[in-house]
Structure 1
Amino acid sequence: MKLSSLAFNDGDMIPEKHTCDGADISPPLKWELVPQNAKSISLICDDPDAPMGTWVHWVYYDIPASMQSLPENIPPQENPDIGGK
């Protein structure tokens, strides 16, 4: 599976609006090459370089395998209208 974002390129700094120094909103994400037999996918955003050790920013799971992207600014709720948890 290949994950990317329109908000920044691979290896670039994440734009401030997607960090706690800015609006702290999730970036738009898109993916491709999901295994054909997948029923759902999960995305985990962690920070292995955090000062206190790996920090998990968010987990989004039970995303229908048919979905190919997430929009910017996913609401921090258990069951967003777009699918997943």
Structure 2
Amino acid sequence: MPVSSSSAVERIARVIAGRILSINADGDDPSAGDRVDAAWRDHRDDALSVLRTLREPDSAMAAAGDVDVWERMVEAALAGAEQSA
């Protein structure tokens, strides 16, 4: 599996910014890449909230893999975000 070079928080925040700005979602910009680059940090708290919610896997997620590993991975993403804040 590929490993991302950007943090989970940044990737989630970029998705949120993209949904707001891009015409492909709820926005009006047909080429929102530069605006997303400039705005994603404004959505960092939203991204952290998403990650905090994902600490507990749902039943389908738990059935697919190791719940303890999942929790450690999400906690690591949150800890990394706090260190880079």
TM-score norm. by structure 1 comes to: 0.26
More helix by share: 2
Higher strand share: 1
